[in-house]
Amino acid sequence: MAGRDPEAVAESALDAVAAVAPEVRDGLPGRRRYLDGENPSGERVLAADVFADELLESALGDADGVGTYASEERAAPVDVGDGAVSVAVDPLDGSSNLRSNNPMGTVVAVYDGPLPASGRDLVAAGFVLYGPVTTMVAGVGPPGEAAVDEFLVGDGGDREELGALHLPDEPTVYGFGGRVPDWPADFAAYVDEVEDELKLRYGGAMIADVSQVLAYGGVFGYPALESAPDGKLRLQFEGNPVAYLVECAGGRSSTGDGSILDVEATGLHQRVPVHVGNAALVERLEAALA
Ligand code: AHG
Ligand code: MN
Ligand code: MN
């Protein structure tokens, strides 16, 4: 429905993602094989990635007011309606964890406008975490102002509110991606400090690692690497949504020199260095990389 309030559309989109989450989870066991070919980021694709992508396109395409669907698995955005709201989705984040039966997630970013979009155009963001239980963490509203809530996702795809999430004042955990020899020296020096203060928690799925930071306080990052100066994570459906959620939960995000939400959008699959967590830890990171 064209012209519908973007935040109301965002709520419908989040309901749609929760509604198919049990089906995504139930479809994982038989889809652990890699398919031929690569995704637009040049990475191998699991049958589960494609399965989740198709379910989510259908569910989000039926959500009132959603006009465009984009995902990690698609080269270009897909028109799914006449609304002005666009959704960018990582259908299965951390899908390499499927074979090892470790947590994974679905990430959704809801933008008021066309893609690629700036994080400042977000009207909502959320993720589903396929952990011991299936939960959703989501916020609806302007960046930096929305409340972040956690929901239990029932077997029927309903959302039961568990309460508001706010980053704990005292940080406890840290986790950084990439190989240590591939870290630039200034980032490695920052980690040397942090590892003396916090506990290492890195599980190979951004959403699960960010969930630990939201629950216990700390910092997660997939930094710029010597071999990959833009890091690994994609701005539209990984960096922007987690930056939105952590900033709304009282923390900060940074590419290394400023909020991820301020990065100019140049492409659907553009990569960006991602660091999110307690403000003091992110400020120290920016000082270390200055
Ligand atoms: P995806 O499965 O959607 O491609 O995301 C994987 C990402 C992210 O979830 C995680 O933080 C990172 O890849 C892990 O990378 P490494 O395997 O290099 O640690
Ligand atoms: Mn991902
Ligand atoms: Mn993915």
55: CATH: 3.30.540.10
Q: Is residue 182 within 8 Å of 231, Cβ to Cβ?
A: no
Q: Which of 134, 164, 194 is the last residue of a domain?
A: 164
Q: Is the pTM of this model over 0.95?
A: yes
For atom 15 of ligand 1, the residue with the nearest CA is 204
* Pocket around ligand 1 at a 6 A CB cut-off: 43, 72, 90, 93-96, 177, 204-206, 222, 232
Cα of first residue to Cα of last residue in the chain, in angstroms, is: 46
Q: What is the pLDDT, as a whole number, of residue 45?
A: 95
Structural domain ending residue among the three candidates 164, 191, 207 = 164
Are 91 and 35 in the same domain? Answer: yes
pLDDT of residue 224: 98
108 and 143 together in one domain:
yes
- CA 78–ligand 3 middle distance (angstroms): 17
User: Rounded CA gap, 20 and 195, in Å?
Assistant: 38
In a domain, 35, yes or no: yes
Number of domains making up the chain: 2
Q: At what angle do helices 185-194 and 279-289 cross, to 10 degrees?
A: 150
What the block records as the tokens of 148 is 């972040």
Which of the 8 DSSP states describes residue 171? -
Same-domain check for residues 178 and 156:
no
**Residue 140 belongs to a domain:** yes
Ligand 3 geometric centre to CA of 102 (Å): 14
**Closest ligand 1 atom number to CA of residue 209:** 11
Specify whether 267 is located in the same domain as 244: yes
192 and 152 in one domain?
no
Tell me which residues of the chain have a pLDDT lower than 70: 1-3
What is the whole-number distance in angstroms between the Cα of residue 92 and the centre of ligand 3?
4
CB 261 within 8 Å of CB 243? yes
Report the C-alpha gap between 222 and 272 in whole angstroms: 9
* Nearest residue by C-alpha to atom 18 in ligand 1: 178
What pLDDT, on the 0 to 100 scale, is given for residue 4? 86
Structure tokens at 104: 């994974």
We report the CATH number of the domain holding residue 247 as 3.40.190.80
> From CA 215, how far away is CA 253, in angstroms rounded?
16
130 lies in the same domain as 203: no
Question: 90 with 224, same domain?
Answer: no
